[in-house]
Amino acid sequence: MDNKNTQPIFSSSACKTISLDQISPSQFQPRSYFDGTAMAELTASVKQHGILQPVIVRPVGENQYELVAGERRYKAAKTVGLTEIPVVVRW
């Protein structure tokens, strides 16, 4: 298989860092239950290593974004007190 023309999903040019204050959770989040043990493990990982994979957001106003994917990472970042996280903006 020839992978010469494949691009990484999250290239450094597509990813940027924004303030958590600029992100709001989506009212259409399909997931309503987050396992407490899994969240605790993710929170510990985020505290130790930071956010390793960016969340996906969409613009909803000037310098405001709605979370599209990555609510667990978003919640863990808030819990450990991060002020900024890596995001990929999709329109």
Domains and CATH numbers, the chain: 15-89 (3.90.1530.30)
For 33-70, how does the pLDDT look when each residue is reduced to its tens digit (9 = 90+)?
A: 788 899 999 999 999 999 999 999 999 989 999 999 99
pTM: 0.78
Alpha carbon distance 70, 55 (integer Å): 5
Alpha carbon distance 38, 25 (integer Å): 19
71 is catalytic: yes
Asked whether the predicted pLDDT for residue 5 surpasses 80, the reply is: no
Alpha carbon distance 51, 55 (integer Å): 9
Q: Considering 41, 62, 66, 71, which one is annotated as catalytic?
A: 71
